[in-house]
Structure formats: structure tokens, C-alpha cells
Structure 1
Amino acid sequence: MNREELFEKKPLIKLHDKLFPCPASAAMELIGGKWKSVILTHLIDGEKRYNELRKEMPTITERTLSLQLKQLEVDGLVSRKVFTKKPPLKVVYSLTKFGNTVIPVLQTIIEWGITAAIAKGEFIEQEK
């Protein structure tokens, strides 16, 4: 079925053994929630170690970060590479080829977030 037929026929989408009525709801299954898109955004610039991600997102719990990274890996958006040649064990996370396809969406969300912050909030500089 091509994209034009998808919009005409509006079939249900099966993902994770769940049925979704539209592509937007299927997409949100993969990147929705409070943390998935945030994690993906932090991986846009390249691979990061777990602790680097924790430092960049200080309000996420270790358990939540771990669970979300595992789910993003299962969904094929994030790659986890383990290097064990010499101690200490090194694990890095990066976007997969499929994960890179969401970058334009994330960049649009970031731009809209800036617009929303200007219109509805404020920017507060952090102390170092």
C-alpha cells in the first residue's frame, strides 16, 4: 500500500501487538512519553555513555533512563554497544539508522519548544 492509499483506506496499524487508528498514534508508541524523545534528542549529536546521558538529564531517575533506553533499543531506535576489551566496561548508546529518521521530527519539536518557552514561560540560567 503506498502513502496515498494509506490516507484513503485508513487501515489500522499493528505495532507491539497493539492496534492504532492512525500513523500519529503509532509514532507516539515509539517516541511518546515524557523521556523517549528527550533521550533521542540527546543522542542526535552522537554516541553517549549512560552517565553522560544522566548528567544531561538530571531529573530522570536511573531506573527510568535504563528502562527507556532498553525500550528504545528493542524498538530499533537506539543501539547499545558494549566494549569489554579492557576494564572498566564501557557501554555507549547511539541512534540507529532507523533512529536517525526521527531527527527532523525532534528538531521541529525542539524549535517549537523554544517558541513555547518564549511565549508561555521563561529561560533561567543554571549555576555552574
Structure 2
Amino acid sequence: MHEATGKPVIVTFDSGNLMPVAKTIRQMHPNAEIVIMADNDYPLLARQPFKNVGLEKAEEAAKAVDGIVLTPNFNDKEKEKSLTDWNDFSKERGKSVVATMLRSDLKQALNPQKAKSKTSEIAL
């Protein structure tokens, strides 16, 4: 994500870490835009009961710190391959496509929050 955006990135590796890390980052950087780059485990829909834990935890953490969540937008062929995360997306489409898409998505997603006078962005 850093290569694609040039922004600081913090990796949690596990959805269980998202909330405490997001809260710590918010305390350290009260004016930062916090963008959580979540996995989207939709291929696991066949599991019953289905829980998309990574996405759920990302949404909870984002809400707690006034952040936003972005997930990779896979097409049908990519979904058939059970791709779920940003690394999969980057390998499938290439870094330049990811960079272009993220710039657009971040601009759209952060525009409403810019009115709150936040000054920097941090991706988890």
C-alpha cells in the first residue's frame, strides 16, 4: 500500500489487532485520516454461519476512530479465483493499477472528511 500511495502504512496482520492499533494511531495522530485496507473474505460465503470477520473488524475499528474502510474491488473472474485481499489484487492487476484505483478511491472516500480539517492519511 505504501508503494501504491506513498502514504505511511501500519500492518496489523490479524483482524484482532485492528481496534487497539487504530485507537493507538488515533491517540498518536489525532488529525490523521485513518484508512483501513480490509480483506473481504466473500469466498467463504459457503461456510455457515458465514462471518466476514476481517471486514467486520475493519468496519468496527474505522467507526471507533472516525476512519474509513476500503476493500479490493474484484471482478467476477478474480472472485472465481477466491482472491480476497489487497496483496491478491496487486498481484492480479499490477501495482500501477492499484495505485491509480487507490488514488481515486481515497479521494472519493476522504472528500467528506476533508471538511473536518484533518491533515494526513495513515493506512492500516
| TM-score, length basis structure 1 | 0.28
Q: Which one has more relative contact order, counting CA pairs under 8 Å at least 6 apart?
A: 2
Higher strand share: 1
Larger Rg belongs to:
1
Higher helix share: 2
| TM-score, length basis structure 2 | 0.28
